[in-house]
Amino acid sequence: MGTIFKAYDIRGRYPEEVNEGIAFRIGAAFVRLLGAKRIVIGYDMRLSSPALADAFAEGSMAEGAQVVNIGMVTTPQLYFAIQDGSFEGGAMVTASHLPGESNGFKLCREKAIPLSGASGLPAIERMVGEEADRPVGRTPGGCVTKSVLPAYLDRLKTFVENPSSIKMVIDGGNGAIGPEVLPLTRQFPSWNVVPMYMEPDGRFPHHVANPLIEKNTEDLRAMVVKEKADIGIAFDGDADRCGFIDEKGTKIPEDLVTALIAQVYLARVPGATILYDLRSSRSVPEIITALGGHAVRSRVGHAFIKAGMREKDAVFAGELSGHFYFRDAGFTDNAIFAMVQMLNLLSLKKTPVSSLIAPLKKYSATGEINMEVQKGEAVFAELEKRYGDGRLDHLDGLSADYDSWWFNLRASNTEPLIRLNLEAASRDEMESRKEEILAIVRRIDPGAHVLA
């Protein structure tokens, strides 16, 4: 069972690993851990999600909690519900960007503060395993259904600034975003929306709802060009991540999206603190600093970024994985909020997206290279020795920084892999440094395998 408890959430194949029985026990353990009296639960469009949500609610009620079921929603809407309703905790039934046969849970305490492998999830895993047949012996709670969509849309639309005439193509990926994004965009007549795959469908008939995979944005990129649109937006299944396409049909690197949205915030909040994940291009802290902001480098992972934002009262944070975080959204990741800020940027700059991105593309990056290794510790030790003349740090794995290039090597928090990101001032240096590091990895670990 331990395999379903990950670094940031709970997930596995349905019904072999995640099923109604497990959901009941997780729901009961969740309420016991928090000592919660009131919780809220939502679920995505996967075929198994309603039944898992009901079972989770039954387990929570068995422990005496009052449950509010807000139905099929995005994860950001669930975060909003926790905060708006002052609930002591909340649960989202989702496997996010994974294929339809997977499912799981994202769990939060009050204020939508996440439970993770570093805080909360190990205790729930232990309770689920040790107390599977524990008699509850409490007065059962109850469950009501309620929609928070009207209040959520009212909140979102307050952040749209001076909407101008913008044509956009939005690919919902048959995820949960359709019932939110379409009603929102209809409130702004100057927005011309070309919708794609908006009907929620957990079978994902067109493509898996993961915008980070290039092939999943093929239809969107083609439609942006065909429609002569200003921008394209792609959402993942539960809409806590998104990707953007420029008017030429080119995918915008997620770290450079961070740099773009940072410009909106720094125009509004001079001197603001903005977090960026340490895999991001040097262009990100450079533009934040140039505009008078305070750029703070963060380790990877939503639990760490959210905690760092709260600690430093950051207005915004961006992650290479397509998660974008906002103080105005209660320090949570919200893809529809990221869309709004990108549209605000276009209204502010009145310039094509490709022109806004061009000055930021001054370095050459490898992108994230994933490797399966058997001798991970030896690889890290050898690379630290070899690049000891660089500026080293261990904020997240091993980073080495030089004047004209840098790299970060870190172990995945969610998979048995190590991940390499490297950037240099020129493509030639990027390629040579990449091959240099990969050669060292293969020498230390001949069985190392770079994934496609």
Element (H, E) at 32: helix 20-34
Nearest to 386 by CA among 404, 407, 403: 407
Peptide bond into 15 cis (omega under 30): yes
3-state secondary structure of 264: helix
CA 425 – CA 365 distance, rounded (Å): 9
Report angle CA 203, 207, 210 to the nearest 5 degrees.
100
Nearest to 208 by CA among 15, 45, 41, 379: 45
CB 150 within 8 A of CB 73: no
In this structure, which amino acid lies at residue 391?
A: R
Instruction: Name the active-site residue from 96, 280, 283, 364.
Output: 96
Is 399 among the residues known to form the active site? no
Listed in sequence order, the residues at least 6 apart from 276 whose beta carbon sits closer than 8 Å to its beta carbon are: 255, 258, 284, 285, 288, 295, 296, 297, 298, 317, 318
Q: Which residues pair with 274 in a beta bridge?
A: 295, 316
Listed in sequence order, the residues at least 6 apart from 448 whose beta carbon sits closer than 8 Å to its beta carbon are: 371, 372, 373, 374, 375, 379, 441, 442
Listed in sequence order, the residues at least 6 apart from 56 whose beta carbon sits closer than 8 Å to its beta carbon are: 23, 24, 26, 27, 30, 41, 91, 93, 105
Q: Give how far the C-alpha of residue 235 lies from the chain's centroid of Cα atoms, to the nearest Å.
A: 10
Count the residues in the chain: 452
CA 297 – CA 352 distance, rounded (Å): 29
CB 86 within 8 A of CB 140: no
CB 291 within 8 A of CB 300: no
CB-hemisphere CA count at 13 Å for 323?
24
CA 90 – CA 250 distance, rounded (Å): 37
Give the residue numbers marked as catalytic.
Answer: 96
